[in-house]
C-alpha cells in the first residue's frame, strides 16, 4: 500500500482510541467538513430509500463512497471527519440497533428458528475461521470476514474490530466483501424462495438467517413478497444480531488468554464499550416501556447514523489496495456465503423454519 492509502485508511488518529499510539490531536473543528459531507450523503440516501423502497440506503451509501473515493480526489481537509464517521458514528449506530432487538420477540420465534440462527452463526463463524487458516490468510482479516458474514455485516465487523484492533484497511476490505456478497444474495435468496415454493415462514427464515446485512434482508424480503414474510425475515435477522455480543466476548477471551501484559498498555476489554451499549439497548427494548413512536424515531436516527458511516467506510475502500489483497479474501467470502446458506437450507428442510 502506498503512503496515500495508508493515511486515508488509518482511522486510529481519532482521539480517545484505547491503546492507540500518541498522535497529534485534531481540533473539534477539523472533523466538521468531512462529517458534514458524510451526514449529507446519509440524509440523501435515506430520502432516496423512502422514495424507492426497493433500494437499500446502506448499500447505496457504501457504493457511493467507493465510487467517489476511486473516481475523484478527496481533499485532505475532509479526512478527519470521514475517519470519525467511519468509526465513532458507526458505533453509535450499532448501539441504537440494539433497540430493534427484543428478547421476548426472539423467544417468540420458537425453538426451531432459534436452532437455525444458532447453527447458522456458530457453524459459519467457526468454519470460516478454519478455512481462513487453511488459506494461510492474515488472522485479523479472516476473523473480520467470519464475523461479518455469520452475524450482521458491517456492524459485526465493527464489533470485532473493537476487540482485535485490526487495521482500517482490513475493516474496509471485510465491509466491501459483505457488500459484494450481500448484494448478490438479495436476488438469490428471493429467487430461490420462489423457485422452491417456500411459504412466508420458510422464505423469511431463509432470508433472515442467511443474508449478511439488515438492510439487505429488508430488500430481499420486500422483493420476495413483503408483509408477514418481511416481518419474519427481519425478526430472524435481529436474532442473529443479538449473537454479536457473545461472539465478540468469546474471541476477546481467546485472543487474550495466555497473553503477557505489556507494561503501561491496557489489555482490550472483553466487550468494547459500544457492544455493551448494544446489549443495554436490547434490555431496554425488552422491557416494552419505550413507546412505539419513540422507537420509530430512534430507528430513523439509527438508520441515518449507519448510512453516514457506510458512506465513510466506502470512502476508505481503495480498489488498488483491495486488489493487492489477492483472491483469498474473495474466496473466503464466497465460502462463508455458501456455508451459511447450506446450513439454513438444511435446517429448513428438517422442518425448523418459522410456522406462519
pLDDT at 228 over 50: yes
CA distances from 147 to 15, 56, 132, 175 (A): 26, 21, 12, 11
pLDDT higher at 209 or 267: 209
Burial class (CB in 10 A: 0-12, 13-18, 19+), 29: exposed
Q: Give the range among 256-270, 291-305, 313-327 with minimum mean pLDDT.
A: 256-270
Find out whether 353 and 231 touch, Cβ atoms under 8 Å. Answer: no
139 confidence band (pLDDT: 50, 70, 90): very high
User: What backbone phi and psi angles, to 5 degrees, belong to 339?
Assistant: -65, -50
**pLDDT surpassing 70 at residue 222:** yes
Stated pTM of the model: 0.71
Structure confidence at residue 119 (pLDDT): 95
pLDDT at 333 over 50: yes
Contacts 24+ apart (CB under 8 A), 261-267: 265/19, 266/18, 266/19
- The residue among 72 and 94 whose pLDDT is bigger is 72
pLDDT range class, residue 344, cuts 50, 70, 90? very high
> Does the structure show a pLDDT above 90 at 108?
no
- The mean of the pLDDT values for the chain is 82
Provide mean pLDDT across the span 52-72.
83
The count of C-alpha atoms lying within 13 angstroms of the C-alpha of 276, restricted to the half-sphere facing its C-beta, is 6
Tell me: pLDDT of 57 over 60.
Answer: yes
Q: State the pLDDT at residue 258.
A: 53
pLDDT band, very low/low/confident/very high, at 2 (cuts 50, 70, 90): very low
Which of 171, 126, 183, 188 lies closest to 151, judged by CA? 126
Is 266 a residue whose pLDDT tops 70? no
Report whether pLDDT(59) > 50: yes
Residue 48 confidence class, pLDDT cut points 50, 70, 90: very high
Q: Which of 37-41, 117-121, 324-328 has the lowest mean pLDDT?
A: 324-328
Residue 324 has pLDDT above 80, yes or no: no
Confidence of residue 159 (pLDDT cuts 50, 70, 90): confident
Mean per-residue pLDDT, 201-228: 84
Query: Of 70, 101, 58, 83, which Cα lies nearest the Cα of 312?
Result: 83
Q: What are 168-191's pLDDT values in tens digits?
A: 778 878 887 887 888 788 889 989
In the predicted model, is pLDDT for residue 1 greater than 60?
A: no
Amino acid at each position: 500500500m502506498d503512503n496515500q492509502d495508508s493515511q486515508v485508511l488509518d482511522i486510529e488518529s481519532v482521539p480517545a482510541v484505547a491503546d492507540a499510539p500518541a498522535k497529534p490531536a485534531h481540533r473539534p473543528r477539523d472533523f466538521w467538513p468531512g462529517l458534514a459531507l458524510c451526514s449529507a450523503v446519509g440524509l440523501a440516501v435515506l430520502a432516496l430509500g423512502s422514495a424507492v423502497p426497493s433500494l437499500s440506503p446502506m448499500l447505496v451509501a457504501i457504493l457511493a463512497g467507493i465510487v467517489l473515493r476511486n473516481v475523484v480526489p478527496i481533499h485532505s481537509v475532509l479526512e478527519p471527519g470521514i475517519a470519525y464517521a467511519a468509526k465513532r458514528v458507526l458505533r453509535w449506530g450499532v448501539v441504537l440497533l440494539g433497540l430493534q432487538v427484543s428478547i421476548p420477540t426472539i423467544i417468540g420465534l420458537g425453538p426451531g428458528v432459534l436452532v437455525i440462527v444458532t447453527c447458522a452463526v456458530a457453524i459459519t463463524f467457526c468454519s470460516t475461521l478454519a478455512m481462513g487458516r487453511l488459506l494461510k490468510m492474515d488472522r485479523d482479516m479472516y476473523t473480520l470476514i467470519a464475523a461479518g458474514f455469520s452475524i450482521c455485516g458491517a456492524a459485526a465487523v465493527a464489533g470485532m474490530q473493537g476487540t482485535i484492533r485490526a487495521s482500517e484497511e482490513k475493516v474496509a476490505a471485510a465491509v466491501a466483501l459483505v457488500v459484494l456478497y450481500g448484494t448478490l444474495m438479495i436476488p438469490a435468496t428471493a429467487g430461490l424462495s420462489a423457485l422452491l415454493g417456500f411459504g412466508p415462514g420458510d422464505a423469511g427464515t431463509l432470508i433472515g438467517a442467511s443474508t449478511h446485512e439488515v438492510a439487505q434482508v429488508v430488500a430481499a424480503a420486500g422483493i420476495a413478497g413483503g408483509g408477514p414474510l418481511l416481518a419474519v425475515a427481519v425478526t430472524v435477522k435481529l436474532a442473529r444480531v443479538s449473537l454479536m455480543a457473545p461472539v465478540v466476548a468469546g474471541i476477546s477471551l481467546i485472543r487474550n488468554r495466555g497473553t503477557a501484559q505489556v507494561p503501561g498498555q491496557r489489555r482490550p476489554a472483553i466487550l468494547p464499550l459500544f457492544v455493551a451499549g448494544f446489549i443495554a439497548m436490547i434490555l431496554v427494548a425488552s422491557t416494552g416501556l419505550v413507546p412505539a413512536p419513540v422507537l420509530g424515531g430512534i430507528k430513523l436516527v439509527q438508520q441515518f447514523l449507519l448510512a453516514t458511516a457506510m458512506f465513510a467506510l466506502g470512502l476508505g475502500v481503495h480498489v488498488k489496495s483491495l486488489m493487492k489483497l489477492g483472491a483469498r479474501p474473495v474466496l473466503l467470502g464466497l465460502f462463508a456465503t455458501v456455508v451459511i446458506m447450506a446450513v439454513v437450507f438444511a435446517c429448513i428442510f428438517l422442518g425448523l423454519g418459522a410456522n406462519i
